[in-house]
Chain A
């Protein structure tokens, strides 16, 4: 199947349209079946993907507006492959674990449309198609937060939409400017990212473009001063919304940095390492401290999620293959772990309709299975060795050590800070006496919740022990990317900092 990427993108949307006909009571089963098929397709893509080849595979190209250089251009490499697999997996498991009864059909249809946009963003190689899916992903998410969220859901959903929309419009200007520069040099219009890779731009221009793209991506990540929309969105979103938001939508931002900023603007990226690293560090330490101060379990997870995104940003800007591969691996593990943590908070919220830590205590004796799974996910989130969280975090820190040992040490401190707030959360909720009588009758995980959580536990352990099958294809693509950047960089500073794999071998 050469057009498997198109099928991957449009199958959920098509199924979503047909979903309008499916009866309300069967909508959930329909959604799960469609998401499973989509996940199997993604697995198929992985199986037929040639992991030793670091370049784009399964490329599809169809000119849409040739006069203006817009084409329907898709492709997958090691960087995007696993994010797509993770996105389909989290959608499937999120749907299985979902406890929503109200308007379930609308929810399933929104999720399927959302899945189309998520897969589309990661597979698009044309900037306009990328932008199209990027913007379109806001609409179902707006509806999911706004229709099923908490009391301030409308405010949270609009804040989410406007924040991201503003940033991405500035990014759009950047894209148009790049296309114009490309037209200026070659005489033809093109929005293909791979064509833009060939552009060698003056450093000054690169800086401006970098800023334009930075606004779009940084708001999505979300980077430090732009992060304020996220806790709101998480706080008000239903469980499924938080799961998808944390697991997949945030990754669009970091993925954007890897796909656009680094290879198109290598010199500007190198020049911006220090400011971005500082912002990331503030994000890491500051949000970890805020997380510690929270009383609401979901807010703790939300802020910890922002904190970990900071490590991912550091890895992206390490400019060597360890750092970038590590941060892509961390994107996957962050998706799995924070998705699982949000599901776990959802489990307790469904039972008690509160997320306040003070309401709980001693849950370990009442809900042992729940406590075990929560414990494993917590360890993974903290980055304990032999869990999925450790691999990425270690590689990122290793990679960034080349840039600045001091910053790396500060970033390493988050592992301690992370342990502080996560363990205190665990202590307050699970250990001690059962003080609140309402908690005594709580039921342990039911089979539906087990089905959605156990696969994630298995993944956390499996990839923590043996990450090679995933790390290798990622690394191959990242090595391609880094040596390309090295070749393209013009300033001496950039050439020194970007450590291409070949240079390393020559040493």
Chain B
């Protein structure tokens, strides 16, 4: 006879689950509303999603640091709270971009919004656990939802993007499971803190070491796919090109933040116990990623693809901070993404407002450089705003990303990796070229003949989002101190 299992509700600590539950309930509510009455306007769903996200954000920020819950599966520490907040802020900025004046296929389905919320719940699970299985479940929930969101844009290259992303994602999942299995074989556990203990005690056994290093490599490959690090980045630009512009911007931030947090947990552990091979591998990957993606971005003819490669390069830049594994570097990652989020989403929103049905300027690309020629004459404020985003991405002070760059470069110097800081600096200089190219087109070329395609999609909600992004990008100098203080506190409180 089975023994009865008695678990008290208090020990489950359901508060730690609240943020995810809010997102899931929100998604279910949206589905139920659709059951009762169909044909409701997208603005209703956008606003509902927004409200759910706001409640979710409130619940997240209200969590206490360092608690466990739900059979110890959930771990709410500082980095889990800030990364959830990051994910939610990005989502809050992203979802009103659905309120375009023109109709787009995906927004006519309420399922789009439900899937979106399920995806967020997936990412939230992923960042707030140190159990390899739950990480996997969260990752796959979120990714599957994301593939569908991409495909719902309903163009042939969106399907291509979704299938490509899906295939590569499946491969990555395979690597992740393989790596986890090896870790389990070596240590007999799937909880990272227990794994660390066992690893430490069995460091001297050669067989275990081999297993551990190869598991580290497997996991690294899995995350390299997810973060589109070289040479596992090839799906990236195509997926970005096929996805709608805001979703592409979203993909450059949220999945990467989530993956970054998990990478910080897993590889931080490997580096802590002194497996230097993993550190070297991460450094090599990140340097190659930022350099080669930069080179590729130089030759792109399409602004969206350029931004895709630039996002990959930025991911490489940030990934290097994981190899440093200091509190400062880890805080730098969050600082960087917090600033990058607004600027990059803003830049992609600028592409979104110029989205139109027929490709007039180029038979393949939606947003070739020529389309933005002479924007300063056609739409002066738009040109200035886009130029601000480009300068910020290039790391020109005092715009926001400069502070992220300088902080990560400084942490590289502190950790004794001066060469890394120089590589980062040189890469920023290379990247300045392709951002400048767009500025040159916008400011220095004569306007091409365009019949309103540049602001085809523009309306008040989109302007509001872009306005917020500009505001945050420009005034960064005023809030860096409190932001940095909060992030550093949160990161050091969780022991990274």
Binding site for B on A (CB under 8 A): 63-68, 128, 131-132, 135-136, 138-139, 142-143, 146-147, 153-154, 157-158, 161-162, 165-166, 169-170, 172-173, 176-177, 179-180, 183
A64 to B485: give the CA distance in the assembly, Å: 12
Closest to A69 in B: B410
Residue count of chain B within 8 Å CB distance of chain A: 34
With both chains docked as a complex, state the minimum distance between the C-beta of A142 and any C-beta of chain B, in angstroms. Answer: 7
- Decide if B432 touches A172 in the complex (CB within 8 Å): no
With a CB–CB cut-off of 8 A, which chain B residues contact A179?
Answer: 410
With a CB–CB cut-off of 8 A, which chain A residues contact B425?
Answer: 169-170, 172-173
Cβ-defined partner of A135 (8 Å) among B397, B418, B433, B440: B397
A65 to B407: give the CA distance in the assembly, Å: 11
The B contact surface, by secondary structure, is helix
22 A-B pairs with C-beta separation under 8 A: A63-B481, A64-B477, A65-B480, A65-B481, A68-B407, A143-B443, A146-B443, A147-B444, A153-B444, A157-B444, A158-B433, A161-B432, A161-B436, A165-B428, A166-B429, A169-B429, A172-B409, A173-B409, A173-B418, A173-B425, A177-B418, A180-B413
- Decide if B429 touches A162 in the complex (CB within 8 Å): yes
With a CB–CB cut-off of 8 A, which chain A residues contact B395?
Answer: 169
With a CB–CB cut-off of 8 A, which chain A residues contact B217?
Answer: none
B391 on the interface (CB 8 Å rule)?
yes
- Decide if A170 touches B406 in the complex (CB within 8 Å): no
Residues 411-469 of B at the A interface (beta carbon under 8 Å): 413-414, 418, 421-422, 425-426, 428-429, 432-433, 436, 439-440, 443-444
- Decide if B397 touches A139 in the complex (CB within 8 Å): no
Known contacts: A135-B396, A166-B426, A169-B429. The answer to whether A68 contacts B484 by CB under 8 A is yes
Known: A146-B443, A166-B429. 10 other contacts (CB 8 A): A67-B481, A67-B488, A136-B397, A147-B443, A154-B444, A158-B433, A170-B422, A172-B425, A173-B422, A176-B413
B398 on the interface (CB 8 Å rule)?
yes
Interface contacts (Cβ under 8 Å), in number, total 89
Closest to A153 in B: B444
With a CB–CB cut-off of 8 A, which chain B residues contact A161?
Answer: 432, 436
- Decide if B413 touches A67 in the complex (CB within 8 Å): no
- Decide if A176 touches B410 in the complex (CB within 8 Å): yes
Residues 392-412 of B at the A interface (beta carbon under 8 Å): 394-398, 402-403, 406-407, 409-410
A135 to B444: give the CA distance in the assembly, Å: 20
A501 to B358: give the CA distance in the assembly, Å: 75
With a CB–CB cut-off of 8 A, which chain A residues contact B421?
Answer: 173, 176-177
Known contacts: A65-B480, A170-B422. The answer to whether A139 contacts B410 by CB under 8 A is no
- Decide if B433 touches A173 in the complex (CB within 8 Å): no
A68 to B421: give the CA distance in the assembly, Å: 17
- Decide if A162 touches B432 in the complex (CB within 8 Å): yes
A158 to B443: give the CA distance in the assembly, Å: 13
- Decide if A139 touches B429 in the complex (CB within 8 Å): no
- Decide if B440 touches A154 in the complex (CB within 8 Å): yes
Closest to A177 in B: B413
Which of B394, B410, B485 is the most central at the interface, judged by chain A CB atoms within 10 Å of its CB? B410
Known contacts: A172-B406, A176-B409. The answer to whether A64 contacts B481 by CB under 8 A is yes
Known contacts: A132-B398, A147-B444, A173-B421. The answer to whether A165 contacts B481 by CB under 8 A is no
With both chains docked as a complex, state the minimum distance between the C-beta of B447 and any C-beta of chain A, in angstroms. Answer: 13
With a CB–CB cut-off of 8 A, which chain A residues contact B484?
Answer: 65, 67-68
With both chains docked as a complex, state the minimum distance between the C-beta of B82 and any C-beta of chain A, in angstroms. Answer: 16
With a CB–CB cut-off of 8 A, which chain A residues contact B426?
Answer: 166, 169-170
